[in-house]
């Protein structure tokens, strides 16, 4: 995941600076979607990973894991991979 984060940190400024490059390059766009898919897999793994509580006890109850992840990191992770550009483009095309 660290490597994927580094790649994301490198590609984000490139996307912002050279927006036309990403639109016309299918390989680069596929690469960016592959990174998003890997982050989606990370979300799934986090929903299935035990964690330590404040008393350093391992919590492996599925409901507790899900509630803890949703309470702490889920929305940040979700909105970081949500394809806003695809949704907005589709919405703009229909109106």
The CA-based angle 9-15-21, given to 5 degrees, is: 140
Query: How far apart (Å, rounded) are the C-alpha atoms in residues 46 and 9?
Result: 21
Contacts of 69 (CB under 8 A, 6+ apart): 46, 47
Instruction: List pLDDT tens digits, range 38-95.
Output: 999 999 999 999 999 999 999 999 999 999 999 999 999 999 899 888 888 888 877 6
Picking from 78, 82, 77, the residue whose alpha carbon sits closest to that of residue 33 is 82
- pLDDT tens by residue, 2-51: 999 999 899 888 888 887 776 778 888 889 889 999 999 999 999 999 99
- Structural domain harbouring 40: 2-94
Task: State the CB neighbour count (10 A cutoff) for residue 58.
Answer: 8
Overall domain count for the chain: 1
Place of tokens 């109106």: 95
């Amino acid at each position: 995941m660290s490597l994927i984060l580094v790649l994301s940190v490198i590609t984000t400024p490139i996307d912002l600076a050279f927006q036309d490059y990403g639109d016309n390059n299918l390989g680069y766009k596929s690469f960016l979607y592959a990174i998003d898919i890997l982050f989606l897999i990370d979300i799934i793994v986090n929903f299935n990973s035990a964690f330590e509580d404040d008393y350093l006890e391992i919590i492996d109850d599925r409901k507790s894991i899900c509630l803890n992840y949703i309470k702490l990191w889920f929305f940040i992770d979700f909105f970081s991979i949500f394809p806003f550009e695809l949704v907005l483009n589709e919405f703009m095309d229909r109106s």
